[in-house]
Every structure is written in C-alpha cells, then in structure tokens.
Amino acid sequence: MANRVTVNEQICKGCGLCTSVCPKKIMVIDRDKLNAKGYNPATVSDIEKCIACAMCAIMCPDSAIKVEKE
C-alpha cells in the first residue's frame, strides 16, 4: 500500500507552489482538468514514489492538501 495524498480540487488554485517543492517531482498540475473556479488543479502523478514528507501540503496557501502515511 502506498501513502495517500488528497488534493481538494475545488479549493486548489493551480498556483504550482506544491509542485515546486515536491522532492520526488510527483506533484503536478493537471492541464486536462478545470475546477469550478477555472483553475487547473494539482494532482499526484505517481503515488508509489511519495515519501509522505508533506512538503507540498506545508507549502499550499489554501490548505488544499492532506497527506497520510501508510
């Protein structure tokens, strides 16, 4: 089982701060998706690589990320 990273897609503003700090480079902006506000939300590309460091969540100004460790 992998760690779990949940992005609240409706709250996310697609700012990219989380993607800039993820040491595994697995936090990415999903260009194929739009939320109700018109932003491309962040998503995890490969959860198997996640080390649950929570850097993405600490950096998110909108508290849109929850990180759980297996």
Taking CB under 6 A as the rule, does residue 43 contact ligand SF4?
A: no
Which residues are within 8 A (CB) of 29 and not within 5 positions of it... i.e. 6 or more apart?
14, 16, 19, 40, 41, 42, 43
Residue 2 binding: pick among ligand SF4, another protein, none (C-beta 5-8 Å cut-off by kind)? none
Enclosing H/E stretch for 47? none
Taking CB under 8 A as the rule, does residue 39 contact another protein?
A: yes
Binding site for ligand SF4 (CB under 6 A): 5, 7, 12-18, 22-24, 26-27, 42, 44, 50-56, 59-60, 62, 64-65, 67
